[in-house]
Amino acid sequence: MTRNFHVEPFTEAGEASAEEGHVFLDGPDGVAITLTPEAARLTGERLIAASNAARRERPAEG
């Protein structure tokens, strides 16, 4: 059976861009959302905080 990589966490980051006062997040994969600048900023801050928390949860390498 071929492993379904799509149910694994993504290793590629999404592409964020700004246009006409909106923030677009395209990818990874089928992610396609539009945010206001305020919602995008808050989402970004929450992502960074969650990313730091997730790193701390990982066992030390080596």
Binding site for other proteins (CB under 8 A): 6, 19-20, 22, 24, 26-27, 29-34
Min separation Cβ 17 and other proteins, Å: 9
* Main-chain phi, psi angles of 21, to 5 degrees: 80, 10
Min separation Cβ 15 and other proteins, Å: 9
For 44, counting Cβ atoms within 10 Å of its Cβ (0-12 exposed, 13-18 middle, 19+ buried), the class is middle
Q: Which residue, 32 or 42, is less far from other proteins as judged by CB?
A: 32
Min separation Cβ 3 and other proteins, Å: 17
